[in-house]
Chains A and B, each alone.
Chain A
Amino acid sequence: MRILLIEDDAEATANVVRGLEADDHEIGCAADGRDGLNRAITERWDVMIIDRMLPGVDGVALLQAARAVGVQTPALFLTTLSGIDDRVEGLKAGGDDYLTKPFSFAELAARLEALVRRPPLLTTRMNFGGLEINRLTRKVRQNGTEVDLQPREYQLLEFLAINAGKVMTRKMLLEKVWDFHFDPKTNVVESHISRLRTKLGEAGCEDLINTVRNAGYRFGPTAPS
Chain B
Amino acid sequence: MEPARPGGVGISRLARTTSFRLMLSYVALFVVSVGILFVAVSWAVSNATRQQVDTDVADEIRELTRAAGSLKLAAVRRTIAEYAARPDDRMHYLLQNAAGKVVFGDLPPMAPRFGRQTLRLNGMRWPIRGGGMKLPNGYLFVGEDEFEAPHLRVALRDSFLLTVSLALAFALSGGFLISLGILGRIEAVSRTGRAIMAGDLRQRLPLRGTDDELDQLSHVVNQMLDRIEALMADVKRVSTGIAHDLRTPLTRMRQRLELAENANTATDLRAALGQSIGDIESILTTFTALLRIGQIEAGSRRAGFTEVNLGALVAGLAETFQPVAEEQGKTLFWDTGLPGPNVLGDPDLLTQLLVNLIENAIRHCPSGTRIAVGVSRSGSMLDLVVADDGPGLPEEIAAQWRDRERTPATRVAIGHGFGLSMVMAIAHLHNARVEFRDSGPGLRVVVSFPATAPTGRLGGAT
Docked-complex contact A178 and B462, CB < 8 angstroms: yes
Chain A residues whose CB sits within 8 angstroms of the CB of B284 once the complex forms: 102
Contact B274 A214 (CB under 8 A): yes
Do A186 and B321 contact each other (CB < 8 Å), given the known contacts A84-B349, A179-B462, A180-B355? yes
- Of all chain A residues, the one with the shortest Cβ separation from B288 is A82
Return the contact of B352 from the options A83, A182, A191 (Cβ within 8 A).
A182
A187 touches B324 (CB 8 A): yes
By size class, the interface of chain B is: 20 to 34
Residue among B277, B288, B363 making CB contact with A185, cutoff 8 Å: B363
A residues in contact with B143, CB < 8 Å: none
CB distance from A219 to the nearest CB of B (A): 19
Within 255-291 of B, Cβ neighbours of A (below 8 Å) are at 274, 277, 280, 284-285, 288, 291
A38 within 8 Å of B by Cβ? no
Residues from chain B with Cβ under 8 Å of A82 in the complex: 288, 291-292
| B320 CB contact (under 8 Å) in A102, A152, A182, A214 | A152
B138 at the interface (CB under 8 A from A): no
Query: Does B327 touch A at the CB level, under 8 Å?
Result: yes
> Which chain B residue lies CB-closest to A80?
B291
Binary contact track B326-366/A, C-beta < 8 Å → 1, others 0: 01000000000000000000001101100100010011000
A 86-105 to B, binary, CB cutoff 8 A, 1 in contact else 0:
00000000000000101010
Minimum C-beta distance from A202 to chain B (A): 15
In the complex, B323 has a CB within 8 A of chain A: yes
Q: Does A18 contact B (CB under 8 A)?
A: no
A186 touches B295 (CB 8 A): no
Which A residues are CB-close (under 8 A) to B348? 84, 179, 181
Q: Check B323–A192 contact: CB distance below 8 A.
A: yes
Once the chains bind, are B291 and A184 in contact (CB under 8 Å)?
no
Residues of chain A within 8 A (CB-CB) of B296 are 84
The distance from the CB of B419 to the nearest CB of chain A, in whole angstroms, is 7
In the complex with contacts A179-B462, A191-B324, A83-B295 CB distance below 8 A? yes
The answer to whether B292 and A191 have CB atoms under 8 Å apart is no
Contact B301 A84 (CB under 8 A): yes
Question: DSSP class of B's interface residues: helix, strand, loop or mixed?
Answer: helix
- What are the residues of chain A within 8 A of B403 when measuring CB–CB? none
Residue of A151, A185, A214 near B419 (CB, 8 A) is A185
Most buried by A among B301, B304, B320, B348: B320
- A222 at interface (Cβ–Cβ under 8 A)? no
- Are B321 and A182 within 8 A (Cβ)? no
A84 touches B363 (CB 8 A): no
Partner of B323, one of A180, A184, A191, A214: A191
| Bound CA–CA A150/B419 (angstroms) | 28
Q: Indicate whether B319 reaches chain A with its CB closer than 8 angstroms.
A: yes
- The residues of A that contact B274 with a CB separation of less than 8 Å are 214
In chain A between 9 and 32, which residues have their CB closer than 8 angstroms to a CB of chain B? none
Q: Any chain A CB within 8 A of the CB of B210? A: no
Task: Flag if B292 contacts A188 (CB, 8 Å).
Answer: no
B455 within 8 A of partner (CB) = no
For the complex, what is the distance from the CA of A141 to the CA of B151, rounded to whole Å? 129
Cα separation A174 to B98 with both chains bound (whole Å): 137
User: A106 vs B389: C-alpha distance in the bound complex, in angstroms?
Assistant: 41
Residue of A nearest to B291 (CB): A82
B291–A186 touching, CB < 8 Å: no
Name A150's closest neighbour in chain B (CB-CB).
Answer: B319
Cβ of B122 under 8 Å from chain A = no
Hey, which chain A residues are within 8 Å of B351, CB to CB? 179-180
Is A81 an interface residue when CB atoms closer than 8 A count as contact? Answer: yes
Question: How far is B88's CA from A168's CA once the two chains are assembled, in angstroms?
Answer: 130
B33 at the interface (CB under 8 A from A): no
Q: Which residue of A lies closest to B355 (CB)?
A: A184
Assembled-state Cα–Cα distance A33/B349 (Å): 32
> In the complex, which residue of chain A has the Cβ closest to the Cβ of B323?
A191
B319 touches A183 (CB 8 A): no
* B300 is an interface residue with CB less than 8 A from chain A: yes
The verdict on A85 contacting chain B, using a C-beta distance below 8 Å, is yes
Q: Specify which of A84, A179, A187 lies most central, judged by the most chain B CB atoms within 10 Å of its CB.
A: A84
Cβ distance A159 to chain B, nearest Cβ, rounded Å = 14
Residue of B nearest to A101 (CB): B284
Name the one of A81, A151, A188 contacting B291, with C-beta atoms under 8 angstroms.
Answer: A81
Q: At the interface, yes or no: A139 with Cβ under 8 Å from chain B?
A: no
Q: For B324, what are the chain A residues with a Cβ–Cβ distance below 8 Å?
A: 186-188, 191
A195 at the interface (CB under 8 A from B): yes
Report whether A188 and B295 are in contact in the complex, using a CB–CB cutoff of 8 Å: no
CA distance A186 to B351 in the complex (A): 15
Neighbour of A182 across the interface among B292, B301, B304, B316, CB < 8 A? B292
Instruction: Tell me the smallest distance from the CB of A68 to a CB of chain B, in Å.
Output: 25
Which A-chain residue is minimally distant from B356 (CB atoms)? A185
Partner of B359, one of A84, A102, A184: A184
Which B residues, 284 to 320, have Cβ-Cβ distances below 8 Å to chain A?
A: 284-285, 288, 291-292, 295-296, 300-301, 304, 316, 319-320
Q: Which residues of A contact B362 (CB under 8 A)?
A: 186
Residues of B within 8 A of A102 (CB): 280, 284
Chain A hits for B327, CB < 8 A: 187, 191, 194
Q: Report the separation of the CA atoms of residues A151 and B462 in the bound assembly, to the nearest whole angstrom.
A: 11
Report A58-87 CB contacts with B as 1/0, cut-off 8 Å: 000000000000000000000001111100
User: In the complex, how many angstroms separate the beta carbon of A20 from the nearest chain B beta carbon?
Assistant: 19
| Chain B residues with CB below 8 A from A214, complex form | 274
Beyond A186-B324, A186-B359, A214-B274: 4 further Cβ-contacts under 8 Å? A178-B462, A180-B355, A186-B362, A188-B324
In the assembled complex, 5 residue pairs joining A and B whose CB atoms fall closer than 8 Å, in A order, are A82-B292, A180-B352, A180-B355, A186-B359, A186-B362
- Sorted from nearest, which 6 A-B pairs have the closest CB atoms? A191-B323, A82-B288, A191-B324, A179-B462, A186-B324, A185-B359
**Interface residues, chain B, with chain A CB atoms under 8 Å away:** 274, 277, 280, 284-285, 288, 291-292, 295-296, 300-301, 304, 316, 319-321, 323-324, 327, 348-349, 351-352, 355, 359, 362-363, 417, 419, 462
